[in-house]
Structure 1
Amino acid sequence: MKLLKKIVGIFLIILAIVAIAIVFAVNSLKPDYDGEKKMVGLSQDVKVYFDTYGIPHIYAENEKDAFKALGYVHAQDRLWQMELLRRIAGGRLSEIFGADLVKTDKFYLALGIDEASSKTIAHIDTTDQAVQLSQAYLDGINLFMEEGPTPIEFYLTGVKKKPFELKDIYNTIGYMAFSFAQAQKTDPLLTNIRNQLGAAYLQDLEVMSDTGTTWIKNYRPESNSVRNNLSKMVAEAMDKLPVPQFVGSNSWVIAPEKTKAGKVILANDPHIGFAQPSVWYEAHISSPTYENYGYYIAGIPFPLLGHNRKLAYGLTMFQNDDADFYYEANNPEDTTSYKTLEGWEKYETVHRTIKVKDHKDVSFTFKKSRHGPILNGLTEGVEGSRPDALSWLYTQRDNRLLQAIKEMSHANNIGEFKAALPKIHAPGLNIMYGDAEGNVAWWASAKLYKMPEGINTKFILDGSSAKQEPVEYLDFSENPQAINPPWHYVYSANNQPDSIAGMLYPGYYLPENRAKRIVQLLGPKNDWDREDVKRMITDGTSSVNPTLVADLAKSLDIPRLSPLEIKELDKISNWKGDYPLDSEEATIFHRWIYFFLKNTFEDELGPEQFKQLLATHFCKRLIAPLAAKSTSVWWDNVNTKDIVETKNTIVNTSYQQAINSLRKDFGENPSRWTWNKVHTVEHQHPIGKIAALRSFFNVGPFPVSGSREVINNMYFPYDESLFYKVNHGPSTRRIIDFSDIGNSISILPTGQSGNPLSPHYKDQAEMFIRGDFRKMQLNKDDIVRSSNSLLIFKPEK
């Protein structure tokens, strides 16, 4: 017995030692928010106060020291995210995730971001302040990589840490630019529809300017062919990305004339794919020459969203068309050359090698024309004799985006801020602005160009004739914009802007739903305050969907409906278009719309192209107009002989399918058909795809209010599951109130840190779901008094 007790005692001691070791190891991997650290290259001490939610407030005596400290604290919370983002453009994801990412790596290498970054770096001015501050930021990242704990993801994937370089910043900016593009989802699909079905089938797809809907108004003061699988190929490449993509956004800026305190209020919620970590990292920098409370993308040293005591800015996606596909014409006697107006020109041949985890390296070759990379052969889906080239403005012009973002964050007034914007060539951004002087402004910032009259860039163009090339690049002064308009507010919801330079600029604009609601709310009210704007930015009511229901209901054959179907029709006919968690009407509506789209389009397109259509912006735009039409070529089912289906057929069938699907999924009692049962959000970490690690890395799932194309834009794709898993939405909600600038408010979808061992990994997640906010502090006394911890960087002597 004594021996047994002794053995048990020894075993318990060993267990205790192992437990202590595990706890010590886990704690050693956490971000360090307290204490003192030596930092090479600092000129003076830098103090970093972390607030209740882990947001750093960096106080330094000069900007270089501040940005070096920013790089360090950003890396300790987001190094894994930085690592993923810098790998995308360079085709280096397969090195982490294996063969599943080879197609994605091939596509991004062919796209040319990495090559364009190399060219930019080769000609960079190292005396430029943007470059010098970027290098200081990189020095901070690399110091953390040398001295700080290695994030757990590096151990799980076997990734070796390597220093960050200036090129990594440009590669991350390049990925951000391409994730805005919509042409890759739209142009090949529309070309297929035209070639397979004929021009008549394009008429109801709302691919041109939506002239009957809400537009963003301009105001300037006096002082100022053969079917291809390109869509499928690009979708497959982008869908596998382990990081979120940029999608849409809301923003509005209210002038003093319409606010209770007589000061500007700016609201902004960029819509980006939900993931963990979330996109933005918040940091407040203060030095004698610079102050900014900013929102940073991992690996980029300057904030894309920011404010200080003088001014505030935000962004939405412009959705302009800056990427076009071209068919090239091969020389029939020499396929290494292609036709141009000047004669036959040799393709450039590019060789690349991709390292693949647990597999041999993959080497491949692709060709480039003067338009861009030839996508044929990059995947089995794009073959054939007609070479398809992707022309993208981003890689074709000098890249001054880093300088633009730096100058925006350092501007002191509207003039300095505006001067930075012509440097943005791609992606197209709606830049929203307000300041303490009472100015409000919106600029569509992009390098816009005119095409020959009659050329529609929504289709694959002819690359051999020289008749479908840009004929003019517009000066920035001709871009859509509004500065201090007489209606006293500016806004953007990714919708169609008014005419510019005598033309409507082509793009992939979103439907009017959010824009109509924003204008409806902003227009009549002249006493806005922060609480009002809080309610507006979380508003979940559609101004369009009740009318859409009424248009569909006119086609229902009431006598043929069951008592249950009639009862639910009465409910949805009185629906206000809102999306609380207990709404039955919201659930019925979206099931009805899905079947309406499926029964309208899938017979002509087939399952694969129907899925591609659902992913386009023009599909979102066509729903309401199509519901209002009495005739459409799409309504006849091509698979039924001797029967011609009509709108009535489609609407009745779709409504009954919607009700039957709900009965099947949730039972006969409609009180169980509520929105919270079908509309959920889970913030997924790349490693959370492994079932055993899901609960550790992922955040959620949560039932969530809101929906597609309402201000609280909790977007989900339509698919055959008939459940609505939200995959993108507000990446932050910010409200900047110049009547109390030191206590403006914000929220992140999950938390500030990307380290799952940090207390700030998901401490905002439930607040975000509830529509709550927290302060963005600017006042140093308040920051010091309420700070949870203090990290001091001292010069290494």
Structure 2
Amino acid sequence: MYTAFSWLLRIVVLAVALVVAGASLAYYFASRSLPDYDASFALAGLDGEVEIVRDTADVPHIFATSDRDTFFALGFAHAQDRLWQMTLLRRTVQGRLSEIFGERTLVVDELMRRLDLYGIATRSVSVQDPATLSALQAYAEGVNAWIGEVNADAKGRGAPEFFLFSNEIAYWQPADSIAILKLMALQVSGHLEREVLTARLSLLSDDWVKDLLPEVPGPGTAALPPFASLFPTVPRSYAALNIGPQDPLSPFRRGAFAGASNAWAAAAERAAAGAPLLANDPHLPFSAPTVWYLAHMELETGGVIGGTIPGIPAILTGRNDRLGWGITSAYLDDQDVHIEELNPGDPERYRTADGWKPFETKKAIITIKDAPPVTVTLRWTDNGPVLPGSHYDLGSVTPQGYVASLSWTALDPADRSIGAAIDIMRARTVEQAMAAGENYVAPARNLVLAGPDGVGMVMIGKVPRRDAAHQTKGRMPSPGWIAENRWQGYFPYSDNPRFQNPEGGIVGNTNNKTIDRPFPENVSDYWGDSQRVQRWTRLMQEREVHSRESFMAAQLDTTSPAARALLPLVAANLWFTGEAAPEGTQDRMRQRALDLLANWDGEMSEHLPEPLIYAAWMRALQFRLIRDELGPLAEEFNHLEPLFIERVFRDVDGAGRWCDVLRSAPVESCDEIARLALDDALVTLSARFGSNVESWRWGEAHQATHDHSVLGKMPVLKWFVNIRQSTSGGDNTLLRGKTAGTEPEPFLNVHGAGYRGVYDFADPDSSVFILSTGQSGHPLSRHYDDLSELWRRGEYIPMSLDPDLARAAATGITRLSPAP
């Protein structure tokens, strides 16, 4: 007995020792890729001495003697902190993820190859102006210099993730940076999916299009023909199709996550300190690390500081000493789906206005880890690339004998958007920045500006010119062989919406409708938000003058206009139900919930139960209203559509009919459906959070999910690399925290402001910004998540262009010098 116990003890001790040794060895190799910020490097490609001063938040302040060296150093700093993220973005846009992830990402690679964003980026290098090309080349050389250091000195392969994947790290090219900007365009584009969804609803009922996808109030609405009248043979099966991979590695996002942001500016006369103010918080999917990276560059035109995206050599949102700029998604209708007819006798030809024409085709070989390679035939029409019916539900609206193609501004091989972004950060006035936007193509942005000549906002991005006779006005897929349905070029940049020094002294955008123009001069019929702008307008009007603090408070505002508008409608006849129900009954729980909501002001605070009750109730209500009519298509509406609920409960154009359950004999009222939906929500919530309604907390369900796209799914490792935090806000608040919308955790906060900045030109060094994670992409770095708690609490860090302040707070100075 003693001998058995002794051997068992030895085995346990040995196992523990092996685990400790393995963990220590793993830590040793992983930690070797942590950069030394106090090191010096002699590097080829530099013209002079460079200093990269790191402050306490790990923000690099770059000081060089030429712009070329400054861009070189930015590439070097990006690669030091985010090399894995950069190479992953590049592989994504190249359609080469499967080389390291296997069949898991094959569907992503196939669609990326069909779009050919990387090939288009490569061709567009030749159209860049000399200054832009110099910046791109210098930046690439800086990235490659760090890759060279990693290879020469065995610096842990550059990042811990590279130990899991043995593939070589290819050197950076100028086309890589252009391609990553196009990848950002893909992430914020939602019109393709919207067109398909509109067509699917039209096939069921044109009235349902009006109700579920209502027009934002205002003139300019164009009537649509029934989709079935264009394609009588279109399939009417609505089984769930693959709209695009939902893997964390996939850049193909659902329409609800197509893009958002807030930006506003106040002129000097509306600022308490007598100088312009600007605030910006662009919204993108959350990740660890966030896609944003803070940097300060000293250029020949002066210092510039703000948010960059690793891989792109430009401050995309930030300020210099005279001008501040912010960006929001413009929701420009820059995508059109075309249904192309195949020649029945030769499916390699498609119909055009001038007869049958062969597809432009080429073969692409996708290499797959641990599996045979796959050869894909890529096809293009005059309208754009042909996309498979398995993506974006295109198969549900494409008849037999037809294929779908896509027209999209981001497919322009003469795209000079990256040069425009560099020119904007060099601009000194609002007028100069607006002029610099002329070369910008995609993704379309509202550029909000504040400078010495006032404030302004202009939409940058090419606007497709559509024929007045376009059959679907660009809002549904259209026959691709009809000339009137094809794009007729682009409108001149001078026609883009712009607002400069308005009478009220304030400009801003929350993805709301910005302009009313009749088709075909319209910008879009699909806008990102009709709720947040109501709250923003009120906050701007409540004060005669604004300050940095009032702009920060507006960014962090958690009041939901949707909740304030919908609850009085939905619960109008449910508030008072007579005597209190017995404790422990469903009626009693409903009364307690209604009592809480009756005294709630719509603040989506993480510490309150009311936001959770409201969100769950509206989710259950919308599903009860639409599921009997739409069947499987109801799953496409997994986020609250406030305008739809309002139409139903106000019975606009007879929309109250949605409350009646079609398959039941009685005619249900909206009050009955509202009560049943509240019961549904309370049952679901009590199963997860217990039966004490008052103890529920919104933040428990609304956790921000900054997850690592690769390590975040691995057992044990996920607890170290994923950053989860209780957060306030919601889908329709200025402090926007877009919910996941899908089970089993529909209220997770998955999309929001990874960057916030507020710039005060009365005292520029009092300007502030924050990231939602940290600067470093290395999980072992203290800068991996050091800013996340500040972000969650609504705090900021200083934004200074003062070299002395940067050096005074330096935690490390990296010195670069030309190699002998």
Counterpart code for 1:327: I
- Distance in 1 of aligned mates of 2:332 and 2:389: 28
Distance 1:715 1:624 in 2: 20
- Relative distance call for 1:275 and 1:667 in structure 2 (3 A) is same
Is residue 621 of structure 2 the alignment partner of residue 596 of structure 1?
yes
Residues 273-288 of structure 1 aligned to structure 2 (within 5 Å) = 273-288=285-300
Q: Retained in 2: the 8 A contact 1:230–1:381?
A: no
Q: 3-state DSSP class of the match of 1:467? A: helix
Q: Distance in 1 between matches of 2:392 and 2:788?
A: 41
Q: CA deviation at 1:210?
A: 2.7
Fraction of identical pairs, as percent: 28
Choose 474-483 or 620-629, whichever is displaced more. 620-629
Alignment partner of 2:605 out of 571, 575, 580: 580
Contact 1:228/1:382 (<8 A) preserved: no
Q: CA separation in 2, counterparts of 1:63 and 1:680?
A: 42
Contact kept? 2:219, 2:518, Cα under 8 Å: no
2:206 is aligned with 1:208: no
Q: For residues 755 and 114 of structure 2, what CA distance do their matches in structure 1 show?
A: 32
Per-residue CA distance 1:646-695 (angstroms, 9 max, x = gap) = 42332222122122223332232211222122211121102211122102
Q: Counterparts of 1:627 and 1:11 in 2: how far apart (Å)?
A: 65
Say if 2:286 is the partner of 1:305: no
**Residue 103 of structure 1: how far off its partner (Å):** 0.8
CA distance in 2, matches of 1:48, 1:651: 59
Q: Tell me the SS of whatever aligns to 1:353.
A: strand
What amino acid does structure 2 have at the position aligned with 1:671?
E
Contact 1:510–1:621 at 8 Å: present in 2 too?
no
Partner-residue secondary structure (3-state), 1:473: coil
Would the alpha carbon gap of residues 474 and 230 (structure 1) be closer, same or farther in structure 2, given more than 3 Å must change? farther
Is structure 2 residue 793 aligned with structure 1 residue 770?
yes
Correspondences of 1:325-724 after superposition (within 5 Å) = 325-376=337-388, 384-396=400-412, 398-435=414-451, 437-448=452-463, 449-453=465-469, 455-471=472-488, 473-500=490-517, 503-556=521-574, 559=577, 562-607=587-632, 609-614=633-638, 619=641, 621-629=643-651, 631-632=654-655, 635=658, 640-686=663-709, 687-699=711-723, 701-721=724-744, 723-724=746-747
- Which residue of structure 2 aligns with residue 158 of structure 1? 166
Q: Retained in 1: the 8 A contact 2:419–2:439?
A: yes
Contact 1:274 1:728 (8 Å CA) reproduced: yes
The corresponding residue for 2:114 is: 110
Conservation of the 8 A alpha-carbon contact between 2:196 and 2:394: no
Q: Counterpart of 1:235?
A: 244
* Count of matched residue positions in the alignment of Structure 1 and Structure 2: 770
User: In structure 2, do the counterparts of structure 1 residues 317 and 101 end up closer, same or farther at CA, with 3 Å as the change threshold?
Assistant: same
Local SS of the residue matching 2:260 = strand
Residue 225 of structure 2 corresponds to which residue in structure 1?
A: none
- CA separation in 1, counterparts of 2:714 and 2:568? 45
Map of 1:5 onto structure 2: none
Deviations 1:598-651 (CA, angstroms, capped at 9, x unpaired): 1112222223x2222336xx9465344444336427625666143443423322
Is 729-738 or 437-446 further displaced after alignment? 437-446
Tell me the secondary structure at the aligned position of residue 81 of structure 2. Answer: helix
Measured at CA, do residues 304 and 624 of structure 1 come closer, stay the same or move farther in structure 2, by a change above 3 Å?
A: farther
Q: Is the 8 A contact 1:90 1:113 kept in 2?
A: yes
Structure 1 residues 367 and 207: alpha-carbon distance in aligned structure 2, compared to 1, 3 A threshold: farther
* Distance in 1 of aligned mates of 2:24 and 2:674: 65
Change (3 A) 1:407 1:636: same
Evaluate the alpha carbon distance shift between residue 32 and residue 628 of structure 1 in structure 2; reply closer, same or farther with a 3 A threshold: farther
Moved more, 634-643 or 70-79: 634-643
- The equivalences for 1:730-769 within 5 A come to 730-769=753-792
Structure 1: distance between partners of 2:50 and 2:800: 18
Give the Cα separation in 2 of the matches to 1:207 and 1:11: 63
Of residues 155-164 and 11-20 in structure 1, the stretch that sits farther from structure 2 once superposed is 11-20
State the alpha-carbon separation in 1 of the partners of residues 20 and 343 from structure 2.
75
CA distance in 1, matches of 2:672, 2:72: 65
Q: 1:230 to 1:11 in 2, by over 3 A?
A: closer
Q: Distance in 2 between matches of 1:266 and 1:633?
A: 43
Paired position in structure 2 for 1:4:
none
Answer whether contact 2:187 2:252 (CA < 8 A) is retained.
no
With 293-302 and 410-419 compared, the bigger mean Cα shift is at 410-419
SS at match of 1:374: strand
- Counterpart among 714, 717, 728 of residue 751 in structure 2: 728
Aligned to 1:485, the other structure's residue is in SS state coil
SS in structure 2 at match of 1:31? coil
- Contact 1:279 / 1:297 at 8 angstroms: preserved in 2? yes
> Structure 1 residues 527, 21: CA separation in 2 closer, same or farther (over 3 Å shift)?
same
Confirm whether residue 134 of structure 1 aligns to residue 156 of structure 2: no
Structure 1 position 212, deviation (Å): 9.5
SS in 1 for 2:402: coil
- Partners of 2:20 and 2:116 lie apart in 1 by 54
Q: Alignment partner for residue 270 of structure 1, among 257, 276, 282?
A: 282
1:63 aligns with 2:75: no
Distance 1:343 1:242, change over 3 A: closer
Secondary structure in structure 2 of the residue aligned to 1:236 = coil
Q: Which of 22, 29, 40 pairs up with 2:44?
A: 40
Q: Distance in 1 between matches of 2:352 and 2:797?
A: 58
Distance 1:779 1:173, change over 3 A: same
Cα distance in 2 for partners of 1:620, 1:138 equals 46
Equivalence for 2:5: none
Q: Hey, what's the Cα distance between the residues in 1 that align with 2:32 and 2:566?
A: 56
Supply the distance in 2 between the matched residues of 1:651 and 1:18 (Cα, whole angstroms).
57
1:31 and 1:755 in contact (8 A); partners too: no
Task: Check the 8 A contact 1:283/1:294 in 2, yes or no.
Answer: yes
Q: TM-score, normalised by structure 1?
A: 0.91
8 Å Cα contact 1:328/1:388 also seen in 2: yes
Structure 1 residues 793, 335: CA separation in 2 closer, same or farther (over 3 Å shift)? same
Q: Hey, what does 2:11 align to over in structure 1? A: none
Shift in Å, 1:546: 1.4
Deviation at 1:66, TM superposition (A): 1.2
Contact 1:706 1:712 in 2 (8 A): yes
| Change in CA separation of 1:14 and 1:356 when aligned onto 2, cut-off 3 Å | closer
Q: Equivalent residue for 1:217?
A: none
Q: What is the match of residue 216 of structure 1? A: none
Relative to structure 1, is the Cα distance of residues 485 and 772 closer, same or farther in structure 2, using a 3 angstrom cutoff? Answer: same
Q: Secondary structure at the match of 2:407?
A: strand
Q: Label 1:614 to 1:20 Cα distance change in 2 as closer, same or farther (>3 A).
A: closer
1:23 to 1:613, Cα distance in 2 relative to 1, 3 A: closer
Q: d(CA) in 2 for partners of 1:790 and 1:110?
A: 44
